Structure 1
Amino acid sequence: MGKRKSQRKNIAMLDSDDDNSSVSSSSTARSDLLSVSGTDEVQVDRDSLLEQALDALYEKRGSTREKALAAIIEAFNTNLQHQFVEKKFATLLHQCLNSIKKGSSKEIALACHAIGLLALTVGYGDNAHEILEESVTSISQALKSRSDSLKMVSLLECLAVVTFVGATETDETERSMQIMWQLLHPKLGSNVVAVKLPAVVITAVVSAWAFLLTNMDGCCLNSKDWQESISYFSTLLDKDDRSVRISAGEALALIFEIGSIEKFAAENKKTPDGSVPEGNKSHEGYTHIHILGLKSKILNQVRTLSAEAGGKGSAKKDLNSQRNLFKDVLEFLEDGYAPDISMKIGGDLLQTSTWSELIQLNFLKHFLGGGFVKHMQDNEFLHDVFGFTPKRKHLLGVEHQMSSGEKRMFRSPNSVFNKARTQFLNKQRMLSKDRNVGHFAVGMGDEEM
């Protein structure tokens, strides 16, 4: 029904620019380690270097701690440091949290990245949950200062990653999403002043919020929150900054994929016992009209952004990214087809076919930067999230992996639960996409008649 499913290889948002992250190069990181440790030896055991970098996090000089954090990040990007994490997990976490509390913006950004890498390395389980519970208060407090864009973006990305990996209950994910939402809509009081956020921070908030939404069951969230978020994201589509528009477009596509706009429309028609209230017909009619109008407005906005001609001084790359994204969103809203994305990881093919998977892939690729390929090849947590099994891993077999000398992290019952939940939610997104083929086009058409 309608268009064929679009297939694009290596979507624009998965381009090589994400690799140019704040993480230093391998050679720079190694030299940082050597300067931190004060040794002239070139061939130094990797674990010894990490130990020296961890020791350097106790130093008073901020620049020394920054070099140590950069070296730790590079080590975690280059190899999955399971043995080091097993021995020094708690020490590394708490030293990074100390850096968040007292460090410069640069040190905070590096510490946030290191904590996120620690969580991704640990994977599902009790240690990941501990990272979340130990980090959330420090991150929340640090976000309240709103002093620096680099700092805020790093804190948001860290909160998103540690929650995605470590949350074992829906309430824990909602807590982090609420922290993010309060940045956009602070509860104003006598000692709270509304502060206009830079576009880069708004983009980071929306992207992090949507990333966590991919790990949520839409039925768990109430209709008031949905209506507020959809209305707000619609206003962002009219902003001048293209990165803001793109992040809002992705979030809206995900919400429609989950089917939540239909969900809260139905909820507003019913009482808690499931019946339609006799004395509330006018409110019901108003709510229904508002929702239909909002859907129609979003469709028109998406259609316009998918064909924007651009303006004087517009960055062509950003314009093309916007057009490509909103063409995909438009096709999804009209025909129910999410973009099929394929990308090579080494010699293996990673594919996504839902907005949920695409948002997860975009976010984690951006966060991991130069370490993305290594983690996708060797990180079992990411294999579970994307249902991705490299041929090399499959051929080696479990027995060979265990005999290679690399210890496996202990997996608690929570790890089994979280893995199953992630796989279930991604499957539900797929089923929802199949059910919605043509659904939005019919609904939109009816309301415009």
Structure 2
Amino acid sequence: MGKRNKQRKNIAMLDTDDENSSVSSSSTARSDLMSVSGTDEVQVDKDSLLEQALDALYEKRGSTREKALAAITDAFNTNLQHQFVDKKFVTLLHLCLNSIKKGSSKEIALACHAIGLLALTVGYGDNAREILEESVIPISQNLKSQSDSLKTVSLVECLAIVTFVSATETEETERSMQIMWQLLHPKLGSNVVAVKLPAVVIAAVVSAWTFLLTIMDGCTLKSKDWQEYISYFSTLLDKDDRSVRIAAGEALALIFETVSIEKLATENKTTPDGSVPEGNKSREGYTHILGLKSKILNQVRSLSAEAGGKGSAKKDLNSQRNLFKDVLEFLEDDHAPDISMKIGGDSLQTLTWSELIKLNFMKHFLGGGFIKHMQDNEFLQDVLRFTPKRKHLLGEKHQMSSGEKVCYALLQLGLL
């Protein structure tokens, strides 16, 4: 009883007028955490603040839960909260799932981001498996009621991150990709009504689907599936929205990197019992794919040199041109873009479309927390093939000598 009263006292300090509440920035989230603590001290017990934010997720008032979730996501985004996760993993996961089931669109978006950050924090293992098993059904059920773009995009991105981290079987990844595909390309029936998705949702779902394709083996998918994907993404290249075109262009580049046309041509030469299949289906599929690729080449060539139009955003136009120049070079010469970026004085390099798409999706999801996670998150370092030089030089628990300190300083400045 005393603990619950203390919890309510902390939560009351977090509450403000519902209509004026806002969790739009990290500074607001940190301010909310400070208000929970009831002190003006600069040094604050971070675990205590997270505990208080976690307690606030039990409250009925939506604005209280939203502020608590914003504080939690800010804490997880700016630091790896391993100690807190060790103690409160199950509680945090199920309270976030409760927000997804019952919360407003804003609360759902925050809860989705918190679950994604939780998955990235725990990395491989049993906890990751539990996140996937507990999250898929609530997310897929919530996606059936596409009330607004914020909610739909957040749910899809959460599903993508959780699956990417947690899936150990091909079927699990395929299940999540199929949930996304149904949004883009629903199978219409008596109980299904076609819904026109906003451009922002289409672009986000395509990007999430493509992100999961990076962990799929191209051999597991059938020729007819690839043809369906290629044909659909080709139609998206003709859409008015540039974000949709860019997402579709990346998807197509990854598809052609993942599976060869030659493989599609020979895939169905025999049936499981060893007999020859009916007709010349494999040759027809090969011809069809060649025709689609020729069409896509023309579309890509046009988009790589688009002049723009009235009211066009120059930034988006340049992004489109650059992306489709890379796609064109890949389709014509089989050369994927070679990208390098600095992270704390170290270089992270991508050599394939798969690596680039993983990198871009993680940068998008983590936002301002990307650099911190890349420096400290071993799961991300593993999947993006990034090893800070200081780990080679020092090891995890090595004590620096004066000479090593000089070397480390030079590394940080990029002079070594």
Q: Shared fold by TM > 0.5?
A: yes
Contact 1:226/1:261 (<8 A) preserved: no
- The alpha-carbon deviation at position 290 of structure 1 amounts to 1.5
Identity within the alignment, %: 86
* Partner SS, residue 297 of structure 1: helix
Which whole-Å CA distance do the structure 2 matches of 1:170 and 1:78 have between them? 32
Task: Map 1:424-443; keep pairs closer than 5 Å.
Answer: none
2:18 corresponds to: none
Question: Unmatched 5+ residue regions in structure 2?
Answer: 1-21, 400-416
Contact 1:37/1:53 (<8 A) preserved: no
Contact 1:36/1:68 (<8 A) preserved: no
1:347 corresponds to: 345
Amino acid at match of 2:45: D
Provide, for residues 320-372 of structure 1, a one-character-per-residue CA deviation record: whole Å limited to 9, x for no partner: 00000000000001111100001011111110010000000000000000100
Which whole-Å CA distance do the structure 1 matches of 2:316 and 2:26 have between them? 30
1:154 corresponds to: 154
1:95 corresponds to: 95
- The alpha-carbon deviation at position 263 of structure 1 amounts to 2.5
Which whole-Å CA distance do the structure 2 matches of 1:263 and 1:285 have between them? 11
1:333 corresponds to: 331
> Which range moved further: 377-386 or 220-229?
220-229
1:407 corresponds to: none
Are positions 1:302 and 2:300 aligned together? Answer: yes
* Partner SS, residue 342 of structure 2: strand
Query: CA 1:26/1:196 → structure 2, altered by over 3 Å: closer, same or farther?
Result: closer
2:393 corresponds to: 395
Query: CA 1:292/1:26 → structure 2, altered by over 3 Å: closer, same or farther?
Result: closer
What's the TM-score, normalizing by structure 1?
0.81
Contact 2:36/2:49 (<8 A) preserved: no
2:71 corresponds to: 71
Amino acid at match of 2:356: L
How many residues are aligned here? Answer: 378
Amino acid at match of 2:158: C
Query: CA 1:260/1:138 → structure 2, altered by over 3 Å: closer, same or farther?
Result: farther
Which whole-Å CA distance do the structure 2 matches of 1:285 and 1:165 have between them? 38
Amino acid at match of 1:385: V
- The alpha-carbon deviation at position 77 of structure 1 amounts to 1.3
2:238 corresponds to: 238
* Partner SS, residue 342 of structure 1: strand
* Partner SS, residue 339 of structure 2: strand
1:382 corresponds to: 380
Contact 1:255/1:261 (<8 A) preserved: no
2:370 corresponds to: 372
* Partner SS, residue 279 of structure 2: helix
**Aligned alpha-carbon RMSD (Å):** 1.8
Amino acid at match of 2:374: M
> Which range moved further: 107-116 or 261-270?
261-270
Contact 2:264/2:286 (<8 A) preserved: no
- The alpha-carbon deviation at position 392 of structure 1 amounts to 2.6
2:34 corresponds to: 34
Which whole-Å CA distance do the structure 1 matches of 2:134 and 2:218 have between them? 27
- The alpha-carbon deviation at position 315 of structure 1 amounts to 0.6
Which fold has the larger relative contact order, with Cα–Cα distance below 8 Å and residues 6 or more apart in sequence? 1
- The alpha-carbon deviation at position 35 of structure 1 amounts to 3.0
* Partner SS, residue 396 of structure 2: helix
* Partner SS, residue 73 of structure 1: helix
- The alpha-carbon deviation at position 291 of structure 1 amounts to 1.7
1:113 corresponds to: 113
- The alpha-carbon deviation at position 271 of structure 1 amounts to 3.2
- The alpha-carbon deviation at position 153 of structure 1 amounts to 0.3
* Partner SS, residue 180 of structure 2: helix
Which whole-Å CA distance do the structure 2 matches of 1:264 and 1:42 have between them? 62
* Partner SS, residue 350 of structure 1: strand
- The alpha-carbon deviation at position 382 of structure 1 amounts to 0.6
Which whole-Å CA distance do the structure 2 matches of 1:249 and 1:63 have between them? 39
Which whole-Å CA distance do the structure 2 matches of 1:133 and 1:344 have between them? 36
What's the TM-score, normalizing by structure 2?
0.87
Contact 1:23/1:73 (<8 A) preserved: no
- The alpha-carbon deviation at position 222 of structure 1 amounts to 1.7
* Partner SS, residue 137 of structure 2: helix
* Partner SS, residue 229 of structure 1: helix
Contact 1:57/1:68 (<8 A) preserved: yes
Amino acid at match of 1:280: G
Which whole-Å CA distance do the structure 1 matches of 2:145 and 2:218 have between them? 31
Amino acid at match of 1:143: L
Which whole-Å CA distance do the structure 1 matches of 2:334 and 2:204 have between them? 27
Contact 1:156/1:180 (<8 A) preserved: yes
